[in-house]
A and B are shown apart, each in its own frame.
Chain A
Amino acid sequence: MTLHEYDVVIVGAGGAGMRAALESSKRARTACLTKLYPTRSHTGAAQGGMAAALSNVEDDNAEWHTFDTIKGGDYLVDQDAAEILCKEAVQAVLDLENMGLPFNRTEGGTIDQRRFGGHTRNHGEAAVRRACYSADRTGHMILQTLYQQCIKQEVEFYNEYYVLDLILDKDPQGTPEGEEVSVAGVIAYELATGEIHTFRAKSVIFATGGAGKVFKTTSNAHTLTGDGMAIAFNAGLPLEDMEFFQFHPTGLAGLGILLSEAARGEGGILRNSEGERFMERYAPTIKDLAPRDMVARAMANEVREGRGCGPHKDYVLLDLTHLEPAHIDAKLPDITEFARTYLGVEPYTEPVPVYPTAHYAMGGIPTNVHGEVLRNNTDKVKGLYAAGECACVSVHGANRLGTNSLLDINVFGRRAGIAAAEHALETAEAAPLDETAAETLNSTVERLRSTVGTSEAESVADIRRELQATMDRNVQVFRDADSLQQAQKDVAALRERFTKIAIHDRGKRYNTDLLEAIELGFLLDLSEVVVLGALNREESRGGHYREDFPTRDDEKFMQHTMVYGGDDLRLDYKPVVVTRYQPMERKY
């Protein structure tokens, strides 16, 4: 077991983590710990673009962007945070360009912009070109550019280090409100050697990304197991709005790989097993281009009512066959490649099987606009920050607008990096670190190793498969009290079985078997929180749709859900910050 000391430790090297590292490492001694090589982070999978009211091609401004973000989030957005996001968006894009990001260009040589769902001119008058993009590889370019800058700045990375525990100096729930609780460091497991490392730090930033693997069908990577959220939760911190998960309508059926919204923007049509253009029934005016949550629900409904396609009638079809092949090649090259490679479907002549895919966690670790983590509705944990998909500021509320996450990771990654470094510089010494913490993790790991060869043990893969299946079945686009109670029961039973697992690999070196077991533990923790929040929220808002409560209830539920851990989960609420936008009906 090794002890390291830094001013700032960043956990995660995706867009949010590396943007933070660039700021922090300029100011203070910084380490960036990441379970993947930085360039493997899932920020690289983002396609569509990054929103900013540059006004390069059409008249636009930050206020319109703010309004769209709040309305898109179905009024669960903290409006002060949304104002910051949209105001700082322009500089965030320019910063990336100055760092070298190869954006697509206008004829005049400025950054080009394109349309995206929910982004409008003057409070909904018409669509506006706000998304800055680099072909359909915007996330890849952001990740590469930030990594290149990190090389230039000689950021100190600890690659393939899995952070598994967060150490605070006091129990954040046992400590009375108003009293100070500080971060002391994190404990990490080194994949190559199996060694446990303690990182003591004055500031810690969590930037561990999403948790899509809670579900079976997802656009998220295998490694997006919500580690940061679960670790914070297990350290006694609350999680905010976890019941809000975005399901993107068009994932490749059975695989969940994302097909961009652009497919329907270019004229693609969704059809059921009868060949019917079913969106005409659900949204007579805008049809296939209705908002993401509406389209996803319509698709799920077709399948539920027996009009799904394929041998198991479990998907619908995205039909592009009426489009010219040349048009498809020019505008939708990625989709054609994914459909051909993974389903063997030729989109020129065959419709593509699609189904909603779990895409984005709106909720996460609660923070204020400086990225400081909250331990209740008002008190922050000194020195602890979170940014990116694992955090909940909340700029996305109940439903994130397309292209606002790449923006979020840059704006709030930067803010967290600056705040963490400044805090470290003002702090004489890191909080005292409980020396038994590493020992505790070590014994957890040793206990798992000792399960190798146990007879009649449970299998990690089976539990994970069953968890993902029940979450897909019961907590997806349609939810009601019955389905959620079923999920709650299933998760509880799986948690029980999880205590009896055995792994296969006893080794110390590259023991990914062991880590998958630990990651499954995180998924189980988070599933429980998602389900509880969903069960309790007896209304429908954004990505959370309750069939037994199909309308939005601002009186009771225009507030954030806060779930606390411990022996029994505890639910609380936090008011939404409203600056100037009063809730109104979400119509497009």
Chain B
Amino acid sequence: MTATAEASTPAGEVPSFEVTLRIRRMNPEGTSEHGEGEEYWEEFKVQAHATDRVLDALHMVKWDQDGSLAFRRSCAHGVCGSDAMRINARNRLACKTLLKDLNPAKPIIIEPIKGLPVEKDLIVDMEPFFASYREIMPFLMTDGPAPERERLQSPEERQRFDDTTKCIMCAACTTSCPVFWTDGQYFGPQAIVGAHRFIFDSRDEGQWERLEILNDKAGVWKCRTAFNCTEACPRGIEVTKAISEVKKVLNTGEI
């Protein structure tokens, strides 16, 4: 293929089409038609291109139809973790989900992620999620004085925990977990991912303290390997695998 204008068929050439968004809404202060905290569905139609993301469609609604629609977003390209939501019954980042990958003939169903208290529309209270992360002591723990140069680590040792360093704390995994939905205490998969990142870091000396926390009743043993988390992760982290690696360490006592 030659690099000419004809050879490329990117944005713009694709004709625009109408998409219906069916959004789960809730206004804690109520609206003229809905009571305080009442949950309801509302449909919006927008004119979109196949290359538009769900986030673009939400912006079209917010900017041109109803500014009160509330959702979080920042980077718009899948690196900040702000906009995890349930899109057609699957947890995804709105900024990483293209309309063309959904069926535009049917309404796109958008709901807040499940298992965290809804604050307004698609915004949930993230505090419980971050609190679980803080519980597992997500920081390098070392004994002795700080070294003068860098701590040495081989490329292989570095590779050992590479997968779990990619986490952007979007909560897509945790809020897709059936155990998390029903069990009030489970840390959820993200906290275990966060712990895994340090447990398998050759520089860390606090593993056992951290493992003890995970061995607790709110910890890894709650996981029933539903695999929802791995499917949900927008960074492609093998979440279930990370959890089973932690379980294995607890079973064998060896890292």
Question: Which A residues are within 8 Å of any B CB, using their own CB?
Answer: 36-37, 39-42, 44-45, 94, 97-100, 102-111, 134-135, 137, 140-141, 144, 148-149, 151-152, 192, 221-223, 253-255, 257, 269, 271, 273-275, 309-313, 317, 319, 321, 338, 341-345, 349-351, 353, 459-461, 503-505, 507-513, 516
Contact = CB atoms under 8 A, between A and B. Distances in A.
Interface in B93-148: 96, 98, 100, 119-121, 123, 126, 130, 133-134, 137-140, 146-147
Interface secondary structure of A, over-half rule = loop
Interface string B57-76: 00000111011101111111
A110 to B, nearest CB: 6
B203 A254 contact: no
A310 B8 contact: yes
A86 B14 CA distance: 48
A109 B152 contact: yes
B8 A317 contact: yes
B29 A140 contact: no
A495 B132 CA distance: 45
A254 to B, nearest CB: 5
Contacts, number: 199
A421 B50 CA distance: 52
B253 interface: no
Nearest to B165: A102
Interface of B: 1-5, 7-8, 10-13, 27-29, 50-51, 53, 62-64, 66-68, 70-82, 96, 98, 100, 119-121, 123, 126, 130, 133-134, 137-140, 146-147, 149-155, 157-158, 161-162, 165-169, 198, 201, 203-204
A98 B155 contact: no
Nearest to A43: B80
Contact of A510 (B13, B119, B147, B204): B119
Contact of B11 (A106, A257, A273, A353): A353
17 contacts: A36-B82, A100-B139, A104-B155, A109-B154, A110-B150, A144-B165, A221-B80, A222-B76, A269-B3, A312-B12, A321-B1, A342-B98, A459-B63, A460-B67, A509-B29, A509-B119, A513-B68
A36 B98 CA distance: 24
A455 to B, nearest CB: 16
Question: Which 5 A-B residue pairs are closest in the complex by CB-CB distance?
Answer: A504-B67, A100-B140, A109-B152, A461-B63, A513-B67
A254 B146 contact: no
Contacts of B169: 39
Interface secondary structure of B, over-half rule = loop
Contacts of A222: 73-76
Given A104-B158, A344-B50, A350 B1 contact: yes
A160 to B, nearest CB: 9
B139 A148 contact: yes
A585 B17 CA distance: 52
B105 to A, nearest CB: 19
Contact of B10 (A41, A253, A459, A512): A253
A40 B8 CA distance: 34
A221 B154 CA distance: 35
A152 B134 CA distance: 9
B149 A509 contact: no
A257 B95 CA distance: 12
B161 A102 contact: yes
Contact of B13 (A36, A311, A508): A311
Contacts of A269: 3
Contacts of A111: 150
A53 to B, nearest CB: 14
Contact of A105 (B119, B153, B168): B153
Given A36-B82, A513-B62, A505 B67 contact: yes
A339 to B, nearest CB: 9
